[in-house]
Every structure is written in C-alpha cells, then in structure tokens.
C-alpha cells in the first residue's frame, strides 16, 4: 500500500518534471531569437535609420524609413480591402449561414486560412503583376486575401459568442433581422471583431513571400498604388542575403522594428480582450439635462 502510493508520487513527479523540461526546451529558440534580434538590431537603430530611405551598401545615412512607410501602406490598403470582406463573410456565416452554402464557405475559409502564403502571392502575381507590374496594390491584394479567412473566422467566433437571448430580445421588439445583426449582435461582439482584425494585421505585417512576388521592394519613397514599394520584410530578406556587413546590420535593425510593431499590436489585442465588457456607448447628452427640459 505504502510503496504503491510512493510509486504514484514518483510517477507524478517525473511526469511534471518532463513537462517542465519540454517547456524550457521550447522556450530556448523563442528567447534566443528575441535576444539575438535585440542585441544585433538595437545598435543599428537611431533616428536616421528610422527616417532615411534604404540605400546601397556604403552609402551614408541609410535607413528603413521608406520600408516602414511601405509596410504601413501595404497593411492599410490590405485592411481596406480585406477587413470588409472578412467581417461580412464572418457575419454571413454566423448569422445567415445555417445552410449548405454557409457550411461550404466555412470549409473553404478554413482551407484558405492555412494556405501557403507564397501560393497566394503567386496568384496575385499572375492576376495583377503580369498586367500592371510589381505594385503596392498587388501586394495589398495578396495580403488582403491572407487576411480574409482569418478575419472571417474570428468574426464568426465572436458573433457566435453573443448570447441568443439578445438576438431574440431584439427580434421580439419588432426590429428587423438585418438591423438586429448590425446594431445588437455586432455591437455586442465588437471587441472580438477588433481583436480578429488586429490579429490579421499582425499576421500580414510580417508576410514576406507574397510581397517578393508583388510589391517587390523599392529604395525610394514610393507611395503610388501602381508602383513597387518597399516593405520591412523585404528589407530583411534582401539585406540579410547580401554579402555586405552594413546591409546585414540593417536587416537586424529592420527585424527589431518589425517585431516591435507586431508585438505591440498583440499587446493591444490582449488588453482589448481583457476589457471585453467595458465598451458601451454613452447617451449623447446626459439624461438629466434632457429630462429637465420637458418633464
């Protein structure tokens, strides 16, 4: 009896020790990546690095300003295209998708969400780049396609979390279905929608492969929709591949900037999800002011 119990205790200890070791092993690459990026990237970063454009090796005052701007533009245009489609797809699947079509959409969404991004880049290449050339809009298009299934899935999940009793409450007041969806369901699932959008943005901000095939990269401050533009992942990719030490150092600097941007987005997401119920619209004027006018 006694030996049985102590054996069980030992098994338990060994199992939890094993799990702990695995956690530590898994943390090693993560921590070393972070340390490596910070230690090699930080020396590269100064004001000029953030504000000057990318230049060839040896040029003074070389920076990644145009790549930061390019990445922001790419993400902005991708969001403008991808978020509406993604959110509305999610709304459709959650609120109107209780049929074979909705199930099919959900199925393809799941497939598309796990699609290799280079293939999506290739698709954008053949569709747009072959017509108008390497361009901001082709890059944004590719990123938007990556965003849509992510946003659609998180939107659907967020709306499914809204209790059915609220749908019924609104419908029973004689509010039409579409208004119920728009004003009650979406407003109650709002923080989930924001979370999904931010996660999708964080995901595409680091995409490289589709951009090689679409927005291509640029050493100048280019912002035109039909022109090739710079982007942080492209700077990292090209400079790291180059044989020049100064360009390689810039790649680490760009990596640190990119990681900082993506991490801070993730932190924002965390904060938002924690404060889920806090958002509610206040009455425009206070009720006291208004009631005293006409009671």
Partner 1 sequence: MEGKIVTERLNAFFGEVHAVKNINMSIPANAITAIIGPSGCGKSTLIRCLNRMHEVVRGARAAGKVYLDGEDIYDPETDPVEVRRKVGMVFQKPNPFPTMSIYDNVVAGQRLNGEKDWKKLDETVERSLKLAALWDEVKDHLDASGVSISGGQQQRLCIARALAVEPEVLLLDEPCSALDPIATAKIEDLLFDLKDKYTIAIVTHNMQQAARIADFTAFMYMGELIEFGETKKLFENPVEELTEKYITGRFG
Q: For the chain, how far is it from start to end, CA to CA, in angstroms?
A: 80
Interaction of residue 270 with partner 1, rule CB under 8 A: no
Q: Which of 46, 61, 98, 110 binds partner 1 (CB under 8 A)?
A: 98
Interaction of residue 171 with partner 1, rule CB under 8 A: yes
Residues in the chain: 295
Q: What whole-number distance in Å separates Cα of residue 55 and Cα of residue 61?
A: 8
Interaction of residue 101 with partner 1, rule CB under 8 A: no
Q: How far, CA to CA in Å, does 220 sit from each of 45, 135, 183, 232?
A: 19, 13, 45, 13
Interaction of residue 170 with partner 1, rule CB under 8 A: yes
Interaction of residue 5 with partner 1, rule CB under 8 A: no
66: region left, alpha or beta (phi > 0 left; psi from -120 to 50 alpha) = alpha
| DSSP state, residue 161 | T
Q: How far, CA to CA in Å, does 149 sit from each of 79, 111, 113, 144?
A: 13, 9, 5, 9
- Which region, judged by CB under 8 A, interacts with partner 1, from 13-21, 71-79, 152-160, 284-292? 284-292
Q: What whole-number distance in Å separates Cα of residue 68 and Cα of residue 53?
A: 9
Radius of gyration of the chain (CA): 25
List beta partners, residue 229.
216
* Angle, CA of 181, 187 and 189, to the nearest 5°: 90
Q: Which of 57, 187, 208, 248 binds partner 1 (CB under 8 A)?
A: 187
Residues touching partner 1, count (CB under 8 A): 36
Q: Which of 1, 60, 165, 243 binds partner 1 (CB under 8 A)?
A: 165
Interaction of residue 176 with partner 1, rule CB under 8 A: yes
Q: What whole-number distance in Å separates Cα of residue 193 and Cα of residue 153?
A: 10
> Is the CB of 150 or the CB of 162 nearer to partner 1?
162
> Is the CB of 166 or the CB of 240 nearer to partner 1?
166
* Minimum distance of partner 1 from residue 272's CB (angstroms): 15
Interaction of residue 274 with partner 1, rule CB under 8 A: no
Q: Which of 1, 172, 245, 271 binds partner 1 (CB under 8 A)?
A: 172
Interaction of residue 169 with partner 1, rule CB under 8 A: yes
Interaction of residue 103 with partner 1, rule CB under 8 A: no
Interaction of residue 194 with partner 1, rule CB under 8 A: no
Interaction of residue 8 with partner 1, rule CB under 8 A: no
* Six-digit token string for 145: 């396609």
Binding site for partner 1 (CB under 8 A): 98, 163, 165-176, 179-180, 183-184, 187-188, 190, 277, 279-287, 290-291, 293-295
């Amino acid at each position: 009896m006694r030996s049985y119990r102590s054996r069980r205790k030992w098994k338990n200890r060994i199992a939890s020790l094993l799990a702990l070791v695995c956690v530590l092993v898994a943390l090693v690459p993560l921590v070393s990546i972070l340390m490596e990026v910070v230690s090699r990237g930080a020396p590269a970063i100064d004001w000029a690095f953030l504000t000057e454009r990318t230049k060839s090796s040896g040029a003074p005052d070389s920076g990644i300003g145009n790549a930061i701007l390019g990445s922001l533009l790419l993400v902005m245009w991708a969001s403008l295209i991808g978020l509406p489609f993604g959110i509305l797809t999610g709304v459709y699947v959650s609120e109107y998708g209780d049929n074979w079509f909705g199930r099919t959409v959900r199925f393809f969404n799941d497939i598309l969400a796990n699609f290799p991004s280079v293939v999506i880049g290739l698709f954008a290449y053949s569709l747009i780049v072959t017509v108008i050339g390497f361009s901001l809009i082709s890059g944004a298009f590719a990123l938007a396609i990556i965003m849509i299934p992510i946003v659609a899935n998180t939107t659907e999940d967020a709306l499914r979390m809204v209790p059915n009793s609220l749908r019924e409450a609104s419908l029973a007041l004689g509010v039409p279905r579409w208004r119920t969806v728009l004003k009650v369901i979406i407003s109650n699932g709002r923080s989930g929608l924001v979370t999904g959008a931010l996660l999708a943005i964080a995901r595409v901000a680091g995409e490289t492969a589709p951009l090689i095939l679409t927005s291509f990269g640029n050493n100048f401050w280019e912002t035109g929709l039909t022109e090739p533009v710079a982007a942080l992942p492209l700077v990292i990719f090209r400079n790291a591949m180059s044989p020049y030490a100064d360009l390689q150092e810039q790649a680490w600097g760009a990596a640190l900037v990119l990681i900082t941007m993506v991490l801070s987005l993730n932190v924002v997401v965390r904060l938002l999800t924690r404060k889920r119920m806090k958002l509610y619209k206040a009455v425009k004027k206070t009720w006291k002011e208004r009631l005293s006018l006409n009671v």
